[in-house]
Amino acid sequence: MPAVGTNVPRKDSTEKVTGTARYVDDLVFPGMLHARTIRSTIPRGRIRDVRLSFDRAGFTIIDHRDVTGRNVVALIEDDQPLLAEREIRHVAEPILLLAHEDLDTLRRARVDIDYEPLEPLFDPTRSTQLLKDLRIVKGDVEQALAGAEVVVEGEYRTGHQEQLYIEPNGVIAVPENGGVTVHGSLQCPFYVHKALRIALGLPDDRIRVVQTETGGGFGGKEEYPSVIAAHAALLALKAKRPVKLIYDRLEDMLATTKRHPSIVRHRTGVTRDGRLVAMDIEVLMDGGAYVTLSPVVLSRGAIHAAGPYRCDHVRIEARAVGTNTPPNGAFRGFGAPQTQFAVEVQMERIAEALSMDPARLRELNALRPGDTTATGQRVEADCSALQVLQQAVERSDFHGKRERYAGTNRGIGLSLFFHGAGFTGSGEVKLASRAALCTTERGVRILVGSAEIGQGTRTMHAQIVADSLGIPYEDVETGLPDTSNVPDSGPTVASRTCMVVGGILQRCASDLRERIGDMHPREHFTKHGATVVTKEYEPPHGIAWDDDTYRGDAYATYAWACDVAEVEMDPDTYEIRPIHFTAVQDIGKAIHPVLVAGQIEGGTAQGIGYALIEEVVMREGAMANAQMTNYLVPTTLDTPTMDVVIVETPSHHGPFGAKGVGEMPIDGPAPAIVNAIRHLGLDIRQIPATPERIAEAACVSA
């Protein structure tokens, strides 16, 4: 019986429902010390003096002078120190590391730091520190705008968003084999491996990174674990004992990365009958104090900034700049939720300016197969923007409700969006990911560096391998990635784990099938011992990208979706309550429909939080509400009913036609909700749309 397309039991469900799955904080090593990070309390300045006001007996203490390799967090740029030397660029910057076997003694240790404060900068529009800029040009925008019958302008703003995985960041570093093994909650074991090699100055084979069961990531455990892993490893190597470093919620929220705030400006030229003739877009993202992943977040944001629309004249100018807040980084969607919020609210305002039905405006302009995107990529037969739009409109009774809700405290709005699967541009070629299969006494074992972070990596990969080999799903073994025995499959990010890594596994399976003939891999193992097949990523034919001009095929393919949000406003408190959501999402092929629905429902809930309640309050460069008491995420009572429709227009780029599914669901809810609020007569251009912002808009419109 085929496994693909069916709801086989998750590989990890028994452990997770019985409480036997082991997360990093559940692990105990003999002689283990606990660790703590001493952080800056000012946003910008210089360290004058560090005084340890405690009895040092039993403590291991590390500062920048103890870094045995290079004092950098090795990522895109080497600008971020693991431990501050003299200069402080943000609140909560790590300065000193302490370890002790007794947690209470550790917590009581007092460190006093004197600073020479400098004037911090928090406003990205005033920043002169350019982290990355890029330009996408198609046609001649100025000329097209000059000739446009109607021009609509607008500025849209989005705030920080905290990933809020329920398991905070944490690792345990264990000195062994002349090097160190780090066990941790993480998405990208090989990113951590590289960062450790550079921080510790140790050869590759002395460093081992093992993922522990991971209690959520959403991008928040993409690059940050490199920092915490290096900290724990430095302590462990100095103490010659295992060191556990687990953040509590407050520290995690205060110190770790968040979604980049954005300011996006649109100037759009249209004909009176609603055809887009020119889109002029400026994107500004606040990267915070260090570069981290800002260049690539900006890149994905810019490529998605014109939305899933056909337009001959497009100019997108995008910049990421530095400020004195903790660095921002990866979060599900990776720049695309910010820019698609802007373009979808802009589309709604264009419809309003033309007195046109918003669904009709999108229908006229939605990309069709054969059309080109802003980067000039010709979309293929799997482009289903129009179909998902029409299906969502029909299914939600958009037009009927739009009429019925008019003049009440209810509103309905929609958003049309897309999401490229895999690394941007030439990223996958540079990554050159590998995956492997190994025959075992049970059947076959999957060897990948891809992490299970809740999304179902193990299960989905096993389904692909089972069907590609023609063996039962139960005969496919999976495990936690351990860099000492799996190949580097690239990071678990960018909606690439199914389409890209799953695709490599499919090729491993067909190669293995050729080698073992008709035999079950188990039988082959019994007769001939273990056989290992390793394959590397092969770029699909006919895909071309130019990094210098930002022209060409930005992604192998895109997934397409339309969300319809229905909301109700409380006229006394100005709270907006989402009451129903329709999400029609074309992801090529649902390898496991229950897992896919889980991604769509979960991503939609996060998007609802982003739209309405998740507000990071920054005061003097520090998150003032770094607690779950006052940083609110949707609870059961804030999450509306959802009608999820999975559409399957297969892509020849992914295994069994599958594309990426993890990120797209968070791109659509915010604009759909804000457009539903617009239906109530309230002009909102900034999220989260808190009661305060709604009240303000209501005063203006009254």
Partner 1 sequence: MRLRVNGRDWEVDAPPMARLLDVLRVQCELPGTKEGCGEGECGACTVLVDGEPVCSCLVPVAHADGAEVTTIEGLGGDHRLQRAFAEHGAAQCGICTPGMIMAALALPSSPSLDDVRVALAGNICRCTGYHAIYRAILRA
Instruction: Catalog residues that contact partner 1 under the rule CB under 8 A.
Output: 7, 9-10, 12-23, 25-26, 163-168, 213-218, 248-249, 453-456, 594-595, 597-598, 601-606, 627-629, 633-637, 639, 642
Judged by CB, which is closer to partner 1: 167, or 568? Answer: 167
Give the pairing of strands 243-246 and 33-39.
Answer: parallel
Contact status, residue 94 vs residue 83, Cβ threshold 8 Å:
yes
Cα angle 167, 324, 50 (rounded to 5 degrees) comes to 80
Cβ of residue 22: shortest distance to partner 1, in angstroms? 7
Q: What percent of the chain is helix, strand and coil (3-state, nearest 5)?
A: 30, 25, 45
CA-to-CA distance for 4 and 23, rounded, in angstroms?
A: 29
**Lookup: tokens for 116:** 């020479």
**Lookup: tokens for 694:** 């709604």
Cβ of residue 552: shortest distance to partner 1, in angstroms? 35
Contact status, residue 223 vs residue 255, Cβ threshold 8 Å:
no
- Residue 56: how many CB atoms within 10 A of its CB? 11
Judged by CB, which is closer to partner 1: 325, or 604? Answer: 604
Contact status, residue 60 vs residue 231, Cβ threshold 8 Å:
no
Judged by CB, which is closer to partner 1: 505, or 633? Answer: 633
Contact status, residue 354 vs residue 244, Cβ threshold 8 Å:
no
Cβ of residue 20: shortest distance to partner 1, in angstroms? 7
Nearest to 94 by CA among 39, 43, 56, 54: 39
Judged by CB, which is closer to partner 1: 526, or 627? Answer: 627
Contact status, residue 194 vs residue 49, Cβ threshold 8 Å:
no
Judged by CB, which is closer to partner 1: 544, or 594? Answer: 594
**Lookup: tokens for 232:** 């724990």
Cβ of residue 246: shortest distance to partner 1, in angstroms? 9
Cβ of residue 545: shortest distance to partner 1, in angstroms? 33
Cβ of residue 612: shortest distance to partner 1, in angstroms? 14
Could you tell me the CA-to-CA distances from 43 to 46, 89, 326, 619 in Å, in that order? 10, 6, 9, 10
Judged by CB, which is closer to partner 1: 598, or 681? Answer: 598
β-bridge mates for residue 278, sequence order: 269
Give the pairing of strands 476-477 and 444-447.
Answer: parallel
Cβ of residue 648: shortest distance to partner 1, in angstroms? 18
Judged by CB, which is closer to partner 1: 469, or 605? Answer: 605
CA-to-CA distance for 194 and 221, rounded, in angstroms?
A: 15
Judged by CB, which is closer to partner 1: 603, or 657? Answer: 603
**Lookup: tokens for 28:** 């105990």
Judged by CB, which is closer to partner 1: 21, or 72? Answer: 21
Cβ of residue 603: shortest distance to partner 1, in angstroms? 8
Judged by CB, which is closer to partner 1: 174, or 605? Answer: 605
Strands (E), 166-313: 170-176, 179-184, 207-211, 243-246, 262-270, 276-288
Cβ of residue 237: shortest distance to partner 1, in angstroms? 26
Judged by CB, which is closer to partner 1: 485, or 635? Answer: 635
| SS3 at position 130 | strand
Cβ of residue 511: shortest distance to partner 1, in angstroms? 32
CA-to-CA distance for 648 and 59, rounded, in angstroms?
A: 58
Residue 656 φ/ψ region, left for φ over 0, alpha for ψ in the -120 to 50 degree band, beta for the rest:
left
Phi, psi of 81 (to 5 degrees): -75, 150
Which residues are CB-contacts of 163 (< 8 A; sequence separation ≥ 6)?
A: 216, 217, 218, 219, 220, 257, 258, 259, 331, 332
**Lookup: tokens for 51:** 């005084």
Cβ of residue 106: shortest distance to partner 1, in angstroms? 15
Distance, CA of 64 to chain centre: 30
Contact status, residue 654 vs residue 537, Cβ threshold 8 Å:
no
Judged by CB, which is closer to partner 1: 264, or 670? Answer: 670
Nearest to 314 by CA among 151, 145, 141: 141
Cβ of residue 300: shortest distance to partner 1, in angstroms? 22
Judged by CB, which is closer to partner 1: 16, or 56? Answer: 16
Cβ of residue 396: shortest distance to partner 1, in angstroms? 17
Which residues are CB-contacts of 366 (< 8 A; sequence separation ≥ 6)?
A: 308, 309, 310, 385, 386, 389, 416
Contact status, residue 219 vs residue 332, Cβ threshold 8 Å:
yes
Judged by CB, which is closer to partner 1: 21, or 76? Answer: 21
Cβ of residue 668: shortest distance to partner 1, in angstroms? 13
